[in-house]
Amino acid sequence: MRIISRCVFGLIAVSAAAVAGARSLLPDQPPIWSTKPDVNGFEKIENDRLEAAQQSIDRIVAVKGPKTIDNTLSNYDEALRQITAALYFSSLMEAVHPDAAFRDRATAMTRKVSVVQTALSLNRGVYQALAALPISHADAATQYYVRRQLLEFRLAGVDKDDGMRARLKVLNDQLTEEQSAFERNINDGQKTVDVRDASELAGLPQDYIDGHKADKDGVIHITTSYPDYIPAMNFAVSDSLRRRLYLAFNTRAYPQNRDVLTKMLHTRYEIAASLGYKSWADYNAADKMIGNGARIAGFIQDLDKAVRPVAEKEFQMLLAEKRKSDTGATTIGLEEKSYYQEQVRRSSFNFDSQSVRPYLPYARVKQGILDTAATLFHVAFRQEQGVPAWDSSVETWQVVDAGKVIGRFYLDMHPRAGKFSHAEMIPLLDGIRGKHLPEGVLVCNFPRPTLQDPGLMEYGDVQTFFHEFGHLMHMILGGQQPWAGISGITMESDFVEAPSQMLEEWIESPQVLASFARDYQSGKPIPAELVLRMKRASAFGRASYVGQQNSFTALSYEIYDAKPEDVDLDAIANADIVKYTLFTPLAGTRMYASFGHLAGYSSAYYTYMWDKVIAEDFFEQFNSENLLAGDAPLRYRRTVLEPGGSVSANDLVKNFLGRPQSMGALQRWMSAEFEAEPR
Ligand SMILES: [Zn+2]
């Protein structure tokens, strides 16, 4: 009893501190949309940030005497913080603002900020000031910060002659334009497939059919947005519908983006060659965990070796399923893969993924994820009421740690016309301990709950939600560093998908799922037996997934490893599917044209699988019987997330695992469905 009352007493003290903490930082940092800016207001916010950055840069260059952390690094970090915040905000507006004209101005602003960013990366005065900074007595994080920034300056070409620096600036500005065009073409590239015979929707869930009524001419419109596309690919019996839809989906932004991508290849190649690298892939790897292009090629081969035996087993099961209706079948097209996977889950694992949807209404899933994350990361979440945002559906939340507000996030979770059509976490502000709260935004496209429909989610949607929430927690918990430039997710970019993919694994846990999944009508908890069947069934298809990811990885690497004039996009995209998957490409698809990562990640799409290896290795450190047991959760938060970008990511991995990552955990994850006999 006594112990309990002491705990209760402790909790009271903590919540009093929460109020105090909330008062100390939050008034200085109103929510991003508190002034409800119109497009001119938005531009003013952005221009003010750029001006503040310029003043900080001027102060660095103006220092006459010795360079100190105070007169140089503090100003540098402030300039970086302001520029980055401007870039985050314009990127967010490009992705989410409901008004197309506003989005256009946001795109223009992104270009403007990128120009400033490039100019800073080539500013020799700032580089020399940082290089002259005595750091041997500074703390380890500060030393690491300065060394890493100096590397970035050299990779930008700051030490090249004036002519070359001018050319690099032109190339980088050009690249920004090209990237932006590539992404906008995809966002605007939604297509629609017309269905004239309602029987083509056979196999799809009733709420989907109800939500897709024929128009006055008797035509049903199925779009390429995720809530339309994914169920159709998984469940539609009609081969023809899936084929048409797959083709529409994989020709979005074609042909415009074939040309944009080709330009991007040329621009990037010239940048890399100017800086003495043999290819963009090599250059782009120089400030990453992986180090160089050859190691990407090696990783692709290692992954292929690991995946192939399991992928073969999965493929044979898919083929057997297809032969039930097509006795002579010897191949499975990419457009058939999801459908037959679903069929195998039903026939071999006695699992129909529709059977879990009633347990996954959006509101309950959201609460479940918040509760799970709160327990895992030892934080609390508190919604801020009545906060204005760019769309009325957006929610604003605070993250509270030991009674103190340590960050804020926004949830923009449902589709809208013109909105970014995938799922991502967009950082908004990098935190500085005691000064600025980190903030981030989840931009997703999950079914919107309405009065008639609670927004039932697919299992894969819930996994995506966990994934993006993993990015958000990384951003906030890592956002308590002394410098903005080493805060949040500023580490080597090929580490950032590890914490998000680690969190995906949590939905596989019966313990976690049972804690929130309840039937939206009866309120009954999801049956334990259904969860176990789902766990095994959901493991089926992992090797096919990894193989397909490896083919995308190879595409991203190969087009950026070659000389641009030698690149035949269609030939490489097809060849990589044949080489790294067992599926047959569908003629006429131009998947690369809507593969947004080829702009942002460029040659570094390997990041996903590289980090998947790390994520599975991390996940094995948790107790699979009770994920929250033992010291793993808190140790994970302290050693992996909290350091943000203040140490190298290779060290983050070693600090948590006690060794570098290895492929074993991924192999066990891929073959989980074959470990026990299916029912
Ligand atoms: Zn991610």
pLDDT at 17: 34
pLDDT per residue over 421-435, tens digit each? 889 999 999 999 999
Distance, in Å, from the CA atom of 638 to the CA atom of 401, rounded to the nearest integer, reads 13
Cα-to-centroid distance, 503 and ligand 1 (Å): 11
pLDDT number for residue 227: 85
pLDDT at residue number 25: 60
Return the percentage of the chain with pLDDT > 90, whole number. 84
Cα of 468 from ligand 1 centre, angstroms:
6
In the block, tokens 């979005």 appear at: 252
Instruction: Give residue 439 CA to ligand 1 midpoint distance, Å.
Output: 17
Gap from CA of 677 to ligand 1 centroid (Å): 33
| 19: pLDDT strictly greater than 70 | no
Measured CA angle at 614 (ends 610, 616), to 5 deg: 115
- Model's pTM, two decimal places? 0.90
Ligand 1 centroid–CA 489 distance in Å is: 12
- The rounded distance, in Å, linking the Cα atoms of 514 and 368 is 10
CA of 422 to the centre of ligand 1 (A): 11
- DSSP letters spanning 89-142: HHHHHHHH-S-HHHHHHHHHHHHHHHHHHHHHHT-HHHHHHHHT---TTS-HHH
Average pLDDT for the chain: 92
In this prediction, residue 636 carries a pLDDT of: 97
CA of 469 to the centre of ligand 1 (A): 9
Structural tokens at position 507: 């939905």
pLDDT of residue 510: 85
Summarize pLDDT for 72-85 with one digit per residue, the tens. Answer: 999 999 999 999 99
Contact present, 86 and 115 (Cβ < 8 Å): no
pLDDT in tens, 351-391: 888 899 999 999 999 999 999 999 999 999 999 999 999 99
3-state secondary structure 553-619: HHHHHHHHHCCHHHCCHHHHHHHHHHHHCCCECCCCCCHHHHCCHHHHCHHHCCHHHHHHHHHHHHH
The rounded Å distance from CA 497 to ligand 1 centre is 5
Q: How far apart are CA 93 and CA 114, in angstroms?
A: 15
CA of 136 relative to ligand 1 center, distance in Å: 36
Q: Which two tokens stand for residue 436?
A: 């600025």
Distance 198 CA to ligand 1 centre (A): 36
- 384's enclosing H/E stretch is strand 380-384
- Given a cut of 80, is residue 476 above it in pLDDT? yes
Cα separation, 248 vs 225, in Å, equals: 11
What average pLDDT does this structure show over 280-290?
97
Confidence band for 629, pLDDT divided at 50, 70 and 90: confident
pLDDT at res. 532? 85
Ligand 1: centre distance to CA 467 (Å): 6
Distance 669 CA to ligand 1 centre (A): 19
Strands (E), 167-300: 192-195, 220-223
Torsion-angle region of 2 (φ positive above 0: left; ψ -120 to 50: alpha; else: beta): alpha
- Lowest average pLDDT, out of 229-243, 292-306, 522-536, 586-600, goes to 522-536
Query: Per residue, what are the HEC states of 70-90?
Result: HHHHHHHHHHHHHHHHHHHHH
Q: Please, which pLDDT band fits residue 11 given cuts at 50, 70 and 90?
A: very low
Average confidence (pLDDT) over 156-176? 93
Distance from Cα 496 to the centre of ligand 1, integer Å: 7
Are the beta carbons of 205 and 239 closer than 8 angstroms? Answer: no
What number of other Cβ atoms are within 10 A of residue 312's Cβ?
Answer: 11
pLDDT (tens digit per residue) in 478-508: 999 999 999 999 999 999 999 999 999 998 8
Name, in order, each residue with C-beta under 8 angstroms of 295's C-beta and a sequence gap of 6 or more.
285
Comparing 94-98, 177-181, 560-564, 633-637, the range with the smallest average pLDDT is 177-181
What is the pLDDT, as a whole number, of residue 597? 93
Centre of ligand 1 to C-alpha 250, Å, is 21
Determine how β-strand 395-401 pairs with β-strand 439-443: unpaired
Cα of 466 to ligand 1 centre, how many Å? Answer: 10
Q: If you average pLDDT over residues 195-212, what whole number do you get?
A: 95
Distance between CA 662 and CA 641 in Å, rounded?
Answer: 20
Q: How many angstroms is it from 553 CA to the middle of ligand 1?
A: 15
In this predicted structure, what is the pLDDT of residue 354?
A: 84
**How far apart are the C-alpha atoms of 76 and 207, rounded to whole Å?**
54
pLDDT of residue 26: 65
Q: Residue 493 C-alpha to ligand 1 middle, in angstroms?
A: 11
In angstroms, rounded to a whole number, what is the distance separating the alpha carbons of residues 155 and 285?
11
Find residue 439's DSSP bridge partners: 408, 429
Distance 231 CA to ligand 1 centre (A): 22
Residue 295: predicted pLDDT: 97
The three-state DSSP-derived secondary structure of 291-325 is CCHHHHHHHHHHHHHHHHHHHHHHHHHHHHHHHCC
Instruction: Please tell me the distance between residue 240's alpha carbon and the centre of ligand 1 in angstroms.
Output: 32
CA of 420 to the centre of ligand 1 (A): 15
pLDDT for 460 equals: 87
The angle subtended at Cα 590 by Cα 589 and Cα 596, nearest 5°, is 135
Measured in Å, residue 580 CA sits from the centre of ligand 1 at 22
Mean pLDDT for 170-186 is: 91
Band of pLDDT at residue 27, cut at 50, 70 and 90: low
Q: Residue 412: what residue type? A: D
Only one residue has tokens 């989005």, namely 103
Please give the distance, rounded to the nearest whole angstrom, from the Cα atom of residue 8 to the centre of ligand 1. Answer: 38
Contacts of 220 (CB under 8 A, 6+ apart): 194, 195, 196, 198, 200, 201, 212, 213, 214
C-alpha of residue 453 to centroid of ligand 1, in Å:
28
Place of tokens 């970035």: 152
- Give me the residue label for tokens 């981030």: 440
- What per-residue confidence (pLDDT) applies to 676? 60
Cα 471 to middle of ligand 1, angstroms: 7
